[in-house]
Amino acid sequence: MYLTQPLHRAAQQTPDDLFTVYGERGTTARETRAIVSRIAGGLKLIGVDSGDRVGVLSLNTDRFCQIVLGVAWADAVIVPVNTRWSVKEIAYSLDEADVSVLFVDDQFAHLADELRNQAPRLHTLIQCGEDKLPHAAIPWAELLSADPVEDAHRQGEALAGIFYTGGTTGIPKGVMLGHRQICVAAMGMLLAQSQVPQGGASILVAPAFHMAGFSAWIAGMLLNATTVPLPAFDPVQVMRAITEHRAKQVLLVPTMLQMIVDHPTVDEHDLSSLELLVYGASPISETVLGRAREVFTSARFLQAYGMTELSPGTAFLSDEDHDDPVLRRSAGRASAFARVRIVDPLDEEVPRGTVGEIVAAGDHVMLGYWKKPKETAQAVRGGWMHTGDGGYMDERGYVYVVDRIKDMIISGGENVYSVEVENAVAKHPAVAQVAVIGVPDAQWGERVHAVVGLVPGAALTLAELRQFCREEIAGYKCPRSLEIVGTFPMSAAGKILKRELRTMAEGGSQG
């Protein structure tokens, strides 16, 4: 099992079908195979050897996909760069991963000199956009002038990529994923469904440098779908792409999904072609989920739960399970390839219904953190990846995520799980988006603090919110302070950055 396998199949079985469409540029499977083999040939010419790390700093484009496949074809390892990072963070990841060759597209050409200065191991830049890069970078056309080479068929446990995570909360860690890990997780996403869309188009809008978007792209290739990359998220552009390409599948993070269903022009677009909508990466409120199912009436919904270290999916909630009001609050059940359990601090499994840490084992678990053996040993113990998520499992094996363990709020001696409070707050008609955090409190130790984005034209007071929440949850769980914001700090994966919210909360709450 390996990343280039779907391309070989497509080139053999449907060579003249479109493999990717980017803007006005459509590329068939036959053409893609030729491009990928020449990328690999060009990399060999500049000295890229087996196992060498090659970086790519690019938005979602057809060339991003071709580069990833070309690097694997050349028997090398891809290092996708987080496009939202600072130059310092990017340089750190490139230097740590020993990246000497970096593909750069137009949007990041202006960073070339700074990256050369701050990442001393970086000696070769390759243009993968339309504009020229400064200082003797290799043009895309020149790279493709190389003679094609045969696929190395790098596969199995061989390292496929290093995916950096955690830059928003500390020193970034490079997650090592092999070809088997990535392909098994993508196949698990397909096996979790009773029906899967074959062929058609797959909209790639979640950032492909992140494992959620990357895995969705791999799954689309496995289903013979034409990949339609979008360089940035815009709700109208996503809806237009679905309509224009009669797309069958898309992966969206909850914030993206909310922006689409709340958009004033949503009813003007024909979204009826969509057969599969995968969502995940962060919690979703039942209110947003309900609106989404009303908008995407023909789509089957699949929730994916996991993390980069799990390639990334380990549990899935099927479309049928979404019809159950209890089950749709869960993250689903372990995929066909995974084992999931809930453990206490001693790694002993706890009884069903008891909150503990969610851990997972299987062929999708990472190979480790690049150059970080201590962190690897701490995260993966006895073959089980410790997610850092708190949750419980019911008698049928459904997993309910209650909070990040480090984000659990202890107020007046009681454990309060932010997801439960967020679900209650999100039901208020004035609330468009919410995040709940714990902030220091002289009386309670910590207090439940709600950060809320309002529906346009709406207003909300703390007293009104507390009264509303008392009908949903216990009084000690209700927010004791409230902050109204226009926008939320977001990670590239679409997750609200609660660490930044805690800093903001120091001077912006209402009592």
Each residue's pLDDT tens digit, 20-45? 999 999 999 999 999 999 999 999 99
- Specify whether 343 is located in the same domain as 478: no
Domain ends where: 357, 386, 404?
404
Q: Indicate whether 364 belongs to any domain.
A: yes
Q: Indicate whether 168 belongs to any domain.
A: no
Q: Indicate whether 166 belongs to any domain.
A: no
Task: Indicate the average pLDDT of the chain.
Answer: 92
> Which residues in 335-464 belong to E strands, given as ranges?
338-343, 356-362, 368-369, 380-381, 384-393, 399-404, 409-411, 414-416, 431-441, 445-454
pLDDT digits (tens, 9 = 90+) for 143-153: 999 999 999 99
Give the strand order in the sheet containing 445-454: 431-441, 445-454, 481-484
Average pLDDT over residues 49-78: 98
Q: Indicate whether 102 belongs to any domain.
A: yes
Per-residue pLDDT at 414 exceeds 80: no
Angle at CA of residue 164, ends 3 and 19, nearest 5°: 30
- Specify whether 283 is located in the same domain as 378: yes
Q: Indicate whether 131 belongs to any domain.
A: yes
Structural domain that includes position 133: 30-155
Number of domains in the chain: 3
Domain ends where: 350, 384, 404?
404
- Specify whether 132 is located in the same domain as 53: yes
Average pLDDT over residues 498-504: 83
Domain ends where: 361, 382, 404?
404
Per-residue pLDDT at 210 exceeds 80: yes
Which residues are CB-neighbours of 329 under 8 A, at least 6 positions away? 286, 400, 423
